[in-house]
Amino acid sequence: MWLYLAAVLAGLYLLRRWHRERQTVPGLSEKYVLITGCDSGFGNLLARQLEARGLRVLAACLTDTGAARLRAAASPRLQTILLDVTSSQSIAATTAWVRERVGDRGLWGLVNNAGIAIPTAPNEWLTKDDFVKVLDVNLVGLIEVTLSLLPLLRQARGRVVNVASVMGRLASFGGGYCISKFGVEAFSDTLRREMRPFGVQVSIIEPGGFRTGMTDPATVVKGFERLWERLPAETRATYGRHYLETYIKSTILLHRLSSPRLSRVTGTVEHALLTRCPRSRYAAGWDARFFFLPLSYCPAWLTDAIIGLFLPVPAGGTPARP
């Protein structure tokens, strides 16, 4: 009896949520959305996708080339600006530029998409500057951009969408990338609670493995080789050349297994911006939903054992055991 009642209630809840999430906000043609990191990848596709829906897209690119290519592929509704999220001066200039364009309407959406992954390697191979390089873009820059634009977002009672990663729930490799994404999760959670009284909604996107410029094998291999060459001879002997070669092969294999369908990510961002009832979190990709997220809830010993199966063994070490 109680089992049937619970099933009915769960079904009604899911049906109600499905119905509410299908409803979109009105007046899309008058809403402004700023997207960072639009030179390529998720940001580039999302900018064109939202512009096709009729929104007024403000696309922030890092390079002139990326901005020119994006303008050529879109209508005049899409405007571009150069933004370096590691520069406070660039962020201030972009904020002033956005304020001039949105006027009294305010900014409906901010999509923090800009990010880098390299240098990524075993932690011992990296320096403090290597970590800082990634954190400045993926976390500190994201925070400063958001804080600069919050008054305009409150004015429009709009949306903040932060592109994190499933690696922000389960760290699988060394370097600043996973650390930065854990930080994005924490910042987004606190911001969501603080902004709720102002009508500003905050969503987190947690993609799995997707083929973007950040995961280009040639770039990754060159990065590993440069890090290896600068290591002290003692450290190289401890790990062994075979460790490096296996690490590179594993990275290339993961890239090949990654999904080329970037629309699975941009579709979740679009939903978070346009539905009347956005979710707090969106998992994007089958690997994120059915492997990494469930694994993140497992006991540490089990998680370590499973991830350890994919890690090479150093010349001076022994295979990890649960």
Q: Which residues are catalytic?
A: 177
* Cβ–Cβ under 8 Å, residues 50 and 270: yes
| Number of C-beta neighbours around residue 322 at 10 A | 11
- The span from the CA of 90 to the CA of 261, in Å, is 32
* Helix/strand/coil percentages in the chain, nearest 5: 60, 10, 30
* Cβ–Cβ under 8 Å, residues 37 and 60: yes
DSSP assignments along 172-225, one per residue: -S-SHHHHHHHHHHHHHHHHHHHHGGGT-EEEEEEE-SB--GGG-HHHHHHHHH
* CA atoms within a 13 Å half-sphere pointing along the CA-CB vector of 67: 15
- The span from the CA of 227 to the CA of 306, in Å, is 26
Which regions of the chain does DSSP assign to beta strands (E)? 32-36, 56-61, 79-82, 109-112, 159-163, 201-207, 281-284
| Number of C-beta neighbours around residue 190 at 10 A | 11
As given in the structure block, the two tokens for residue 267 are 């579709």
Residue 207's alpha-carbon distances to 4, 164, 226, in angstroms, are 35, 7, 28
Which residue carries 């409906």 as its tokens?
108
- Give Cβ neighbours of residue 6 (< 8 Å, ≥ 6 apart): none
Which regions of 46-125 does DSSP assign to beta strands (E)? 56-61, 79-82, 109-112
